Structure 1
Amino acid sequence: MIVTDLLMPPGMEPLIAAVLLGTSLTASFVTIAFGIGGGMLLLAVMASLVPPTALIPVHGLVQFGSNFGRTLLMFRYISWRHILTFTIGSLVGVAAGGAIAFNLPPAIVQIGVGLFVIWSVFVHPPRWLREIPILTGAVSSFLTMFFGATGPFVATLSKSLALDRHRHVATHGAFMTIQHLLKTFMFGFIGFAFGPWLGFTIAMIVAGAIGTLLGRLVLNRISDQRFRLALNVILVVLALRLIISGMAAI
């Protein structure tokens, strides 16, 4: 009971905790094995189970841990080109987003996340977003303060570097580690209380680390075309559920 109290946020049921831990493992597996998609999958599931006010901060901290582990595991593959300019842009975007992030009603957050997930599935980011690192950092970091998983945005930048698969996964992980770290600092600065969620967040990060190790074993060994189709279907279904729930709350 004492261990449970330390790990579980107030009011969270054990079944929900188990689903979130399993999703964290799966999301990290998906990200390292296929290069992208895990963060969006985790966000879509968390948005259905985590209070809207805690969704983006907690998701960001979990994603920082997951991406940091991925970056350490594949550190030798990182391409350091554009890291500095992306970081500068991210600082600007996080600061701008942090100024208004807590003013959004929970229902609007749910609808916004749902629409953002659908957008990420069907729409390709514009050319300027993938070719100007400081703008990619600024725009994606601004959006991540509201909608969480901007991995598809940032992936357009790492893809434009024409890297092989291992270097792409490693470099994208480095970009996302920077972005989620800055976001976590900003949410702490503007007053979000991470304390009640800290134990469970660490448990999700550990689950994600296991997923990263498992995903690393299958990287470049499996075809991802059918998987991406299945993942997109799941994401759209979850996104529609979020939009419907948000509209009902309004």
Structure 2
Amino acid sequence: MLMLELLSPLSGGLNLSLVALSALTSALSAAAGIGGGTLLIIVLAQVMPAMALIPVHGMVQLGSNGGRAVMTWRHVRRDIVAAFLPGVVVGALAAAWLLVRLPSGVLELCIAAFVLYSSWGPGLPQRAVGRTGTMIAGAVTTLLSSLVGASGPMVASFIKLGMSERLPRVATFATCMTLQHLTKAFIFGFAGFVFRDWLGLILAMVAAGFLGTWLGLRLLQRVTDSRFDFLFKWVLTLLALRLIWLGVQRLAG
């Protein structure tokens, strides 16, 4: 129990629970393609100081998505990643300069509206998923990720528009999110966050995330394309509804 106490400023019991949660949410992201990162940050927000929430979540997600990207690298759509990367750089630079939030609640409602539209509305024109559109998406979602932590539903919704096959979708999403989360080490390090205090918990959660990713990918292989698309759409929808609930609560004060 002493080792668990040393992982972070949180209690040993909380540290153990968060390590287990990292495995669960990584398995969810690997199997369903989306959802784990948002679920993780919602839980972390209940128990972690606000100043540590986004940087710790970012580093854990860097490990989780990085592991998934490595395990599925053969399926990555490199053309999408190449177009996404310049936007990530622009968004990260803007976040390092800005580091402020939109009015509480507004951002959650905007992301939820985009997710619901992309899941159930008419398709966007092809130019929206072209090179320029992908670069803009990279910039906007990286900025949002650094300010509020969870841009996963928005990135997944955009990638969903550009491809239909499940493994390339999961692999490309993981690679794009890895690039986004990698920038947080520099952004929050520059802002003065002390990662050392939380390093033990981060490493333990990353290790658990690798196990969860392996298990989730095994489940992914057993799910048919039609069932995967159904699950993927409904996971996005449920997350969007959760974001709407949070946004309304925060707007109401």
Pick closer, same or farther for the CA change 1:242–1:163 going to 2, 3 Å.
closer
Equivalence map 1:125-144=2 (5 Å):
130-131=129-130, 132-144=133-145
The one-letter code matched in structure 2 to 1:100 is L
Q: Given that residues 32 and 169 in structure 1 are in contact (C-alpha distance below 8 angstroms), is that contact kept between their aligned partners in structure 2?
A: yes
Change (3 A) 1:136 1:117: closer
Structure-1 residue corresponding to 2:176: 175
Structure 1 residue 220: Cα displacement: 4.0
How many residue pairs match? The answer is 242
How much does 1:3 deviate?
2.2
- Pairing 1:188-203 to 2, within 5 Å after superposition: 188-203=189-204
Aligned positions of 1:5-154 closer than 5 A: 5-7=5-7, 9-10=8-9, 12-101=10-99, 103=100, 111=105, 115=109, 118-119=112-113, 122-124=116-118, 130-131=129-130, 132-154=133-155
Describe the SS at the equivalent of 2:78: coil
Alignment check: 8 A CA contact 1:77 1:166 kept: yes
Q: 1:198 to 1:235 in 2, by over 3 A?
A: farther
Counterpart Cα distance in 2 of 1:82 and 1:61 = 23
Rate the CA distance shift 1:144–1:6 in 2: closer, same or farther, 3 A: same
Kindly provide the CA deviation profile for residues 103-127 of structure 1, in whole angstroms up to 9, marking residues without a partner as x. 559xx76x56754675465343976
Q: Structure 1 pair 115/202, CA: closer, same or farther in 2 (3 Å)?
A: farther
In 2, Cα distance between equivalents of 1:176 and 1:189? 20
CA–CA distance in structure 2, aligned partners of residues 197 and 50 of structure 1: 11
TM-score for the superposition, normalised by structure 2: 0.81
For residue 138 of structure 2, give the secondary structure of its aligned residue in structure 1: helix
CA distance in 2, matches of 1:160, 1:117: 16
CA distance in 2, matches of 1:163, 1:242: 30
Distance 2:167 2:177 in 1: 16
2:75 and 2:168 in contact (8 A); partners too? yes
- Which AA in structure 2 matches 1:6? L
Whole-Å separation in 1 of the counterparts to 2:143 and 2:150 = 11
Q: Please give the TM-score of this superposition, normalised by the length of structure 1.
A: 0.82
Structure 1 residues 4, 148: CA separation in 2 closer, same or farther (over 3 Å shift)? same
Instruction: Measure, in 1, the Cα distance between the counterparts of 2:247 and 2:46.
Output: 7
Consecutive unaligned residues of structure 2, counting only runs of 5 or more, are none
The code of the aligned residue for 1:3 comes to M
1:4 maps onto 2:4 in alignment? yes
Residues of 1 paired with 2:243 and 2:163: CA distance?
Answer: 32
Q: How does 1:218-229 map to 2 (within 5 A)?
A: 218-222=219-223, 223-224=227-228, 225=230, 229=234
**In 1, Cα distance between the equivalents of 2:197 and 2:115?**
33
Q: 1:136 to 1:247 in 2, by over 3 A?
A: closer
Q: Aligned in 2, Cα 1:197/1:113: closer, same or farther, shift over 3 Å?
A: farther
* In structure 1, distance between residues paired with 2:12 and 2:80: 43
What percentage of residue pairs aligned between the two structures are identical?
35
CA distance in 1, matches of 2:166, 2:188: 33
Which amino acid is the alignment partner of residue 124 of structure 1? S
Distance change in 2, residues 1:117/1:46 (3 Å): farther
Q: Is 1:159 paired with 2:160?
A: yes
